[in-house]
Structure 1
Amino acid sequence: MTRNDIISVLGPVDETVIADIALTGASLDELREAFAWIGADEALVNEGHPLPGARVARLIEILDPPEDEDQLASAAPGFE
């Protein structure tokens, strides 16, 4: 998956995020699926979609990290 492929799904994103996504080895379809899960996880489950596979789950972690990680980063200046 190329940088342009990633941007075509996500829009402008940080270069680090692009690199992390590229390193997963995921396909463009898997990125689209991960993006759909972030926006409508409950709806997808209710529609009977199977839960995300390992690569899609990793993409979800990259795109939507758990809240406690975000809070930790903001609570500790200089922590990245």
Structure 2
Amino acid sequence: MTMTLQDVVAVLGPVDETLVSAVIATGATQAELAEAWAWISNDEALMGEGRRLPTGRVATLADLLKDDEDEEIE
């Protein structure tokens, strides 16, 4: 099922409409978005648990979130 604005905001909080559109366009699920957000927020802990690096849509989402985070810093 395609995510909605509310699904994205439920995971990420208030975010830019451009990011919301990009996230929805991936076709990912809310669970995949939550996993990508976990990787961006705390990758060392996940690697410490022995988790493999994200692939597929989760990796795509993680890249989008990382790029957005980097833009906010600049």
Normalising by structure 2, we get a TM-score of 0.85
Contact 2:36 2:59 in 1 (8 A): yes
Contact 2:36 2:62 in 1 (8 A): yes
Aligned partner of 2:45 in structure 1 is 43
Identity %, equivalent residues? 50
Equivalents in 1 of 2:67, 2:17: separation in Å?
A: 16
Structure 1 counterpart of 2:63, one-letter code: E
Partner of 2:29: 27
Q: Does 1:3 align with 2:5?
A: yes
For structure 1, which runs of at least 5 residues remain unmatched after alignment? 75-80
Q: Deviations over 1:1-28 (max 9, x none)?
A: 1110000000000000000000000011
Query: What letter corresponds to residue 46 of structure 2 in structure 1?
Result: L
Q: Per-residue displacement from partner, 1:24-76 (whole Å, max 9, x unpaired)?
A: 00011000000000011111011011221211111111111199x74xxx6xx
Aligned pair count reads: 70
More helix by share: 2
Q: Which has the larger radius of gyration?
A: 1
Q: Give the TM-score taking structure 1 as reference length.
A: 0.79
